[in-house]
Amino acid sequence: MAPAVAYKMIDCKHIPHMRLHYFILTLTLMTVATSSLADEARVAVAANFSRPAEMLVEQFELLQPHRIELITGSSARFYAQLRNGAPFDAFLSADREKPALLVDEGFAVADSLRTYAVGRLVLWTAEPTREISGETLSVFAGGRLALANPRLAPYGLAAQEVIDNLGLTELLADSLIMGENVSQAYQFVATGNAPLGFVALSQVGRNGAIEQGSGWLVPSELHSPIRQYAVLLNETNAAAGAFLEFLRGPEARRIVYSFGYTMDDSEP
Amino acid sequence: MMFPAEVLQAIWLTLRLATTATLLLLLIGTPLAWWLARTHSWLRGPVAAVVALPLVLPPTVLGFYLLLALAPAGPIGQLTGALGLGSLAFTFEGLVIGSILYSLPFVVQPIQNAFHAMGDGPLEVAATFGAGPWKRFFTVAIPLARPGFISGSILGFAHTVGEFGVVLMIGGNIPGETRVVSVQIYEQVEALQFAEAHWLAGSMVVFSFLVLLVVYGSLGRRAVPGMRFGS
């Protein structure tokens, strides 16, 4: 009986401590393993790209151990915040200007600037089954035409170029209603406050075709391409680097295309 | 010149908007404040709560519902459409409606508090001298509540000048029509024109400080009825 009692005593007093040690050891190992293999990144993404970005992250997290947290907003606001120490690891801008400035100013990793999507512009109305074309614009004077602010948003700039290239600058000057970004332009038209507006194909369509309301896919030769650039901000974050890498792969491209963007390989 | 023409236009528009909204608020707010200060109706609580709502609601909530209401299919849009005015979204008039809602408590509450602080005494005295209700209101109540009117007007004006979220959501950023100073600053910041933004933003700080100095400094010594949150 004596050995059994002795064993029981060990069981009661020492084993729990051993367990605790193992637990701490395991925890330490896990932490070490996670920090070297799986990372967490905070990615700032331009508002127009938020829907595809969510799906991209979902796909990315299935394939990789990393985790991505998305923060959606205006590219210009992100730029101002990043210059003042915002804790983001990568930035998917709506244009080239802001991420390029961040590289020049030393806030982003040089050589990491890449196109991740090229936007398509749509002249759009919330009414279903209406014929919309460039003609619609030339007879539109006097109404309200929504667009993103050309001074702030690449989609706005592209819309202004379309108006200029169609020779309608004068005619439509008093009809323009400006949203701060393309999301607001869409909001103005979708709520019926403006009968017509320039929006992003990603907002109203899937797989390259317009799905809600009716619209005119503006021929891309009528405006300069809406190239959206991504940039790495934190070189030591493995998740951010891997995500930007993933964005250029075939898997990601399929998703990007399905949301109405194209890709452009003529430029990095 | 310190400011370019488009900025001067935005300043002028802002002052015009704040003046229009304040005058209309005095017209609407005075009877409302009078009723709130004197009634014993059970409706007093709910009405006071509605008046105070813009104090706690984010401007995005007001802006969102205004956008829906002003749309041609919305309740205000249908009304203005029937009156032949068209939709008021993206117009100066639309901003005036938004500002009235947004600044309502800032005008009503000081006036209401002034009416309340006056008590029944002066009105009863006037009644014994044979003054009718209208005469009592205009010759006794309004002069006695003057500090409330002054602080209500100043706060309503300043608050409308400082309006941003609502204008951003229903304005459409049209020069001379809906591009007010706060939106102009926002656009300058977003367009990375920080130097220009500094000029205008700095001027706003100075302006707002001076307004509050008038309210709390010189008028404060005479115990101005200010904002009372609740009641």
Contact A149 B172 (CB under 8 A): no
In the block, which residue shows the tokens 């896990």?
Answer: A30
Comparing CA positions, the residue from B146, B152, B149 lying closest to residue B106 is: B152
CA pair distance B119, B206, nearest whole angstrom: 37
| Higher-confidence position of B31 and A209 | B31
| Angstrom distances, CA of residue B71 to CA of A184, A190, A247, B77, B88 | 15, 10, 39, 5, 8
- Second-level CATH architecture of B5-222: Orthogonal Bundle (1.10)
| Angstrom distances, CA of residue B27 to CA of B46, B94, B148, B225 | 21, 18, 14, 19
CA pair distance B186, A191, nearest whole angstrom: 24
Strands, E assignment, B173-224? none
User: b or e along B62-96 (b: 16 or more beta carbons within 10 Å of the residue's beta carbon)?
Assistant: bbbebbbbbbeebebbeebeeeeeebbbbbbebbb
Best of B164, B192, B198 to substitute, by most chain A Cβ atoms within 10 angstroms, is B192
Contact A149 B187 (CB under 8 A): yes
Q: How far is B122 from chain A (nearest CA, A)?
A: 51
Best of B70, B178, B190 to substitute, by most chain A Cβ atoms within 10 angstroms, is B190
Q: Are A189 and A197 in contact (CB under 8 A)?
A: yes
Grouping H, G, I as helix, E, B as strand and the rest as coil, residue B220 is helix
Q: Are A102 and A93 in contact (CB under 8 A)?
A: no
* Residue A231: per-residue pLDDT: 96
Contacts of A76 in chain B (CB under 8 A): 189-192
Ranges of each domain in chain B? 5-222
CA pair distance A197, A214, nearest whole angstrom: 11
The reply to whether A81 touches chain B by the CB within 8 Å rule is no
The reply to whether A83 touches chain B by the CB within 8 Å rule is no
* Residue B159: per-residue pLDDT: 93
Question: Would you list which residues of chain B are within 8 Å, Cβ to Cβ, of chain A?
Answer: 67-68, 70-73, 87, 89-90, 168-169, 172-174, 186-187, 189-192
Q: How far is A79 from chain B (nearest CA, A)?
A: 9
Q: How far is B105 from chain A (nearest CA, A)?
A: 28
Between chain A and chain B, the number of residue pairs with CB atoms below 8 A apart is 54
CA pair distance B75, B80, nearest whole angstrom: 9
Structure tokens at B59: 């401007």
Q: For residue A118, count other CB atoms closer than 10 A to its CB.
A: 16
Contact B90 A80 (CB under 8 A): no
Q: How far apart are the first and last CA of chain B?
A: 48
What is the DSSP secondary structure assignment for residue A96, as one 8-state letter? Answer: S
Q: How far is A63 from chain B (nearest CA, A)?
A: 36
Pairing of strands A90-92, A40-46: parallel
What string of pLDDT tens digits covers the 231 residues of chain B? 468 888 999 999 999 999 999 999 999 999 999 999 999 999 999 999 999 999 999 998 999 999 899 988 899 999 998 998 888 888 999 999 999 999 999 999 999 999 999 888 888 888 888 888 888 888 888 999 998 999 999 999 999 999 999 998 898 888 888 999 999 998 888 877 888 899 999 999 999 899 888 877 766 555 555 555 443
pLDDT exceeds cutoff 70 at A35: no
* Residue B219: per-residue pLDDT: 60
* Residue B121: per-residue pLDDT: 85
| Angstrom distances, CA of residue A18 to CA of A3, A9, A25, A29, A253 | 20, 14, 10, 16, 51
Highest mean pLDDT among A92-101, A124-133, B121-130: A92-101
Q: Which residues have C-beta within 8 Å of that of residue A6, sequence separation ≥ 6?
A: none
Contacts of A187 in chain B (CB under 8 A): 67
Dihedral-angle region of residue A227 (phi above 0 means left; psi in -120 to 50 means alpha; beta otherwise): beta
What is the DSSP secondary structure assignment for residue B72, as one 8-state letter? Answer: T
pLDDT band at A20 (very low <50, low <70, confident <90, very high): low
Nearest CB to A76; choose among B168, B174, B191 = B191
Give the orientation angle of helix B75-82 with respect to helix B59-70, to 10 degrees: 40
Dihedral-angle region of residue A142 (phi above 0 means left; psi in -120 to 50 means alpha; beta otherwise): left
CA pair distance A124, A66, nearest whole angstrom: 38
Comparing CA positions, the residue from A154, A207, A144, A161 lying closest to residue A183 is: A154
CA pair distance A208, A261, nearest whole angstrom: 8
Comparing CA positions, the residue from B66, B69, B178, B164 lying closest to residue A144 is: B178
| Higher-confidence position of A69 and A85 | A69
Q: Is the ipTM of this complex over 0.90?
A: no
Structure tokens at A216: 């005119």
DSSP for B74-138 reads: SHHHHHHHHTT----TTSHHHHHHHHHHHHHHHHHHHHHHHHHHH-SHHHHHHHHTT--HHHHII
Contact B174 A176 (CB under 8 A): yes
The helix or strand, by DSSP H or E, that contains position B62, with its residue range, turns out to be: helix B59-70
Contact A149 B173 (CB under 8 A): yes
Q: Which residues have C-beta within 8 Å of that of residue B4, sequence separation ≥ 6?
A: none
Q: Which stretches within chain A are classed as H helix?
A: 2-13, 15-37, 50-63, 75-83, 97-104, 134-138, 154-165, 169-172, 182-190, 201-204, 238-247, 250-258
Contact A151 B187 (CB under 8 A): yes
Q: How far is B161 from chain A (nearest CA, A)?
A: 20
| Higher-confidence position of A263 and B203 | B203
pLDDT exceeds cutoff 60 at A15: no
Contact A144 B90 (CB under 8 A): yes
DSSP for A165-185 reads: HTT-HHHHGGGEEEESSHHHH
For B103, what's the count of Cα atoms within 13 Å in the CB-facing half-sphere? 34
CA B8 to chain centre: 22
CA pair distance A48, A68, nearest whole angstrom: 18
Nearest CB to A192; choose among B72, B174, B187 = B72
pTM: predicted TM-score of the whole model, two decimal places: 0.77
Contact A180 B191 (CB under 8 A): no
* Residue A26: per-residue pLDDT: 64
* Strand partners for B159: none
